[in-house]
Every structure is written in C-alpha cells, then in structure tokens.
C-alpha cells in the first residue's frame, strides 16, 4: 500500500515512501448526517456480541491485516496467525485505464488466491481482494469512465467471486474532490454488483479522507480505514518526526507553528469532514523509518536522509538494541536513538506498547478498528517457531484480550 500523503495545507504534504511530496485537496465538510449514513450497508465490525445480550469484556474491533502477494515466498500462509485478525486483505490487483485488471504484477496468482481463501475460511475469517495501491488514481479514473465502468465493475465482481473472496478493498490513491463524478457512480455500481453476486459481500477502502467522494456513498462501505502512517518525510519546511504517532503531544512544526501530524489529528480531520466514527479504522505499521544523521524526533533536516518502508523484521535483526530504545511521552511512540553525529540514526516504528495504546484509543473513541500494513514486514523467518511474528502477537494481545 499504501499510505500516501494527506496534505496538511500548512507546511507541505505527508508522502509515500520513495515519492516526492504532493498537494492533496482538503475536501469540504459533508452535509450528510453520519448517523443516517451508517443506517445503510451494515458494517462487519469484528467479533459478534455475546448471544445472551451481555456486554463483552472489551468493545469489539476489526483487525484487517494486509498480506501482499509478493510476500508469499517469505511468509507462508500456514504461518499466518488468523487468530490475530478479523479480516485478511490480499494485496493486490491493479486497475488499468481501459477497465481491465492487472492480476499478476503484485504477486497474486490463482494458486495463491485459492490458498489464502481456503486458509482464512478454515479459520473462520473473512478475506478481501484488494484493488489498487499507491499512485493508482490515473488508472482508476480511466476505468471508472462511463465507457468502461460497467465492464470494470463486472471484472471486479468476477475476480472476487471466482476464488471465493468475501469482498473487495478499494485502494484508489489518491482520491481528490474532482474524482467524485466518477468515483460515486463507480462505488454505487460496485455495491450493486457485489450484492447481486452474493449476499453479504463486503466493500471496504483504504483512505485518506475525502468528503466529496466518500460522503455520498458512505452507506455502501463496511470499513473506511485511514492510512495513518507515512506521516513524516525529509521535505522542505519539515523536521524529523515519527512515522505513525498516536498523538502529537502538543508539538508543532518549528518552521510554521502548525501542529505536527498524528493518528489523532488525521482522525479529527476525517470526523470534521463527515466520516462516520463507527466505520473508521486507523493504521498500525509493520515497517520502520530510518533517519540518518540525526538521533531523534523534532530535529532539523540539515544533512539528514531518510530510508522509508524498511521492514520491522529487518530492524529487529539489524538495528535493535535495548540500550537504544526510547519512548516519546505524550506522543505514544517508540523509537531507537543510535550513534552520534553524522553516524547517528533515529528509527521510528510501532511496537507492543504503541499498539496497545492505539487499540485502547480506538475503543475510547468508538472507532471501528485497525489495519496492519503489511503482515510480511513483521515476520522473522529466522526465529524459532512461535516467535516469528512478535508484532502480530502484540496486536492479538491488545485487540483480543482474554
């Protein structure tokens, strides 16, 4: 995926790893009542309530874990702990501008689809086919055009139904205000196509909230998962910052005085734009950012470079040292502070403590759940059996406590 960048409209945009920052439109507030919007297609929000009508120990949440096709050789499906997720999102088919689908470039094969579907269903879990990914907007726009949209929707529904997926996760990146005239009818047709194919097929999306495009079709979605990571980069006017902090601790850009981004600020922006609280999820990162030439957050970028989207497993094997571990109070984010001077490194990541804080906050806020990008990044093949997926086990403990 996956996360790209939501423009703060202040000092620049938050961007995708390896890409230059770009401007994204801040959508106008939706006039739709969020409660009325939720009265449409029911959300599949994780574990059911007890049959006796009593309250569960903790409010149920969904945990949607992304599993990239290219990670199959690294993370065997048999090693995925389905007890740690409610949904698996199999990433990804790509749209083409003519409305056809690229089904192979990102590592999905018919055999892998059948294997994942069988494993998920054997564990009693839902599995979604992901459509799209980073910088897929132009291809989506062509496919959603009136000349192609009906055939495009038909191909998506067939791709879901054939292997037995339980729905589709739409990952159009980015979605802008001017996309609404194409996006809205596309979603309406896709929802109708899924409903006609089989009762209960799910429609979800990975989003940076855009009210103009998502507001009119809120009832059609079961989950709207905010990509609340990639929240920093070495761009003009910026400073070193965490990849996916829960809060900003009241901290602001030294260059402008505007608040630094966080999960909390991104959710607040979406809610202010009409997003329905119960259908919103937030992101947990299974990858790390490595800032070279600096020892921690909120430092100037002079001479600093950043390596984005490095696997968490790589960090644990190559960089992690207990003596380098730091916890940023008020921000609820861990990091490593390694070395000094020009050889210093500031490593931003999620861990068991930040995951626990995020899930507790999700419940406090009445949000729907979390997404995990990407399961393979948290898998340490060289560890003994039972110790290879420590990050996923941290999610499991926080999401589904005994």
Range of the domain at 95: 56-285+350-399
* pLDDT at residue 57, as a whole number: 66
The torsion angle over the Cα atoms of residues 116, 117, 123 and 128, rounded to 10 degrees, is: 100
Q: What is the mean pLDDT of residues 192-202?
A: 97
Report pLDDT digits (tens) over 57-98: 678 999 999 999 999 999 999 999 999 999 999 999 999 999
Q: What is the mean pLDDT of residues 27-55?
A: 35
Flag whether pLDDT at 35 surpasses 50.
no
Flag whether pLDDT at 208 surpasses 50.
yes
Question: Domain containing 374 — which CATH number?
Answer: 3.20.20.80
SS3 content of the chain, % helix, strand, coil (to 5): 35, 20, 45
pTM of the model: 0.87
Count Cβ atoms within 10 A of the Cβ of residue 48 and give its class: 0-12 exposed, 13-18 middle, 19 or more buried.
exposed
Rounded alpha-carbon distances, angstroms, from residue 276 to 101, 233, 261: 31, 29, 21
Flag whether pLDDT at 401 surpasses 60.
yes
Residue 196 gets the label, from left (phi > 0), alpha (psi -120 to 50) or beta, of alpha
Look at 272 and 15; give whichever has higher pLDDT.
272
Flag whether pLDDT at 29 surpasses 60.
no
Helix axes 180-197, 137-144, angle to 10 degrees: 70
Q: Domain for residue 293, yes or no? A: no
Q: Domain for residue 261, yes or no? A: yes
The total domain count for the chain is 1
Q: Domain for residue 3, yes or no? A: no
Q: Domain for residue 96, yes or no? A: yes
Q: What percentage of the chain has pLDDT greater than the value 90?
A: 85
Kindly indicate the confidence band of residue 263, based on its pLDDT and cuts at 50, 70 and 90: very high
Measure the CA–CA gap between 127 and 168, rounded to whole angstroms.
9
SS (H, E, C) 303-363: CCEEEEEEEHHHHHHHCCCHHHEEEECCCCEEEEEECCHHHCEEEECCCHHHHHHHHHHHH
Q: What is the mean pLDDT of residues 171-185?
A: 98
Q: Domain for residue 37, yes or no? A: no
Measure the CA–CA gap between 312 and 305, rounded to whole angstroms.
19
Nearest Cα to 275, choosing from 230, 217, 229, 228?
217
* pLDDT at residue 257, as a whole number: 97
Q: Domain for residue 38, yes or no? A: no
Report pLDDT digits (tens) over 97-122: 999 999 999 999 999 999 999 999 99
Report pLDDT digits (tens) over 210-236: 999 999 999 999 999 999 999 999 999
Query: What tokens appear for 177 in the block?
Result: 């205000």
Q: Domain for residue 297, yes or no? A: no
Measure the CA–CA gap between 269 and 251, rounded to whole angstroms.
17
Q: Domain for residue 4, yes or no? A: no
Q: What percentage of the chain has pLDDT greater than the value 70?
A: 86
* pLDDT at residue 59, as a whole number: 83
């Amino acid at each position: 995926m996956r996360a790209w960048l939501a423009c703060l409209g202040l000092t620049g945009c938050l961007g995708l790893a390896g890409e230059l920052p770009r401007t994204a439109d801040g959508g106008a507030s939706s006039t739709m009542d969020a409660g009325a919007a939720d009265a449409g297609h029911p959300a599949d929000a994780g574990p059911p309530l007890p049959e006796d009508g009593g309250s569960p120990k903790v409010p149920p949440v969904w945990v949607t874990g992304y599993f990239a096709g290219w990670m199959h050789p690294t993370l065997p499906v048999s090693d995925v702990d389905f007890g740690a997720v409610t949904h698996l999102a199999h990433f990804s088919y790509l749209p083409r501008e003519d409305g056809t689908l690229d089904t192979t470039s990102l590592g999905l094969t018919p055999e892998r689809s059948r294997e994942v579907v069988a494993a998920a269903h054997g564990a009693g879990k839902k599995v979604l086919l992901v459509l799209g990914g980073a910088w897929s907007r132009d291809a989506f726009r062509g496919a959603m055009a009136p000349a192609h949209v009906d055939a495009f929707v038909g191909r998506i529904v067939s791709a879901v139904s054939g292997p037995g997926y339980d729905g589709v996760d739409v990952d159009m990146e980015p979605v802008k205000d001017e996309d609404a005239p194409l996006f809205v009818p596309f979603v309406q047709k896709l929802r109708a196509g899924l409903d006609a194919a089989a009762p209960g097929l799910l429609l979800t999306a990975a989003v940076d909230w855009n009210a103009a495009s998502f507001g009119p079709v809120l009832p059609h979605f079961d989950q709207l998962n905010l990509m609340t990571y990639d929240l920093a980069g070495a761009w003009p006017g910026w400073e070193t910052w965490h990849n996916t902090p829960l809060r900003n601790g009241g901290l602001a850009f030294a260059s402008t005085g505007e608040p630094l981004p966080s999960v909390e600020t991104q959710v607040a922006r979406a809610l202010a734009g009409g997003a329905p609280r119960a259908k919103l999820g937030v992101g947990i990162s299974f990858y790390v950012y490595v800032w070279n030439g600096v020892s921690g957050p909120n430092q100037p970028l002079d001479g600093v470079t950043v390596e984005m989207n490095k696997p968490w497993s790589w960090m644990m094997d190559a960089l992690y040292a207990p003596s380098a571990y730091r916890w940023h109070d008020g921000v609820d984010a861990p990091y490593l502070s390694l070395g000094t001077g020009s050889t210093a490194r500031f490593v931003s990541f999620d861990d068991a403590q930040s995951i626990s804080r995020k899930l507790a906050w999700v419940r406090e806020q009445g949000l729907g759940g979390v997404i995990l990008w990407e399961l393979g990044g948290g898998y340490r093949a060289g560890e003994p059996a039972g110790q290879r997926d420590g990050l996923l086990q941290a999610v499991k403990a926080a999401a589904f406590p005994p």
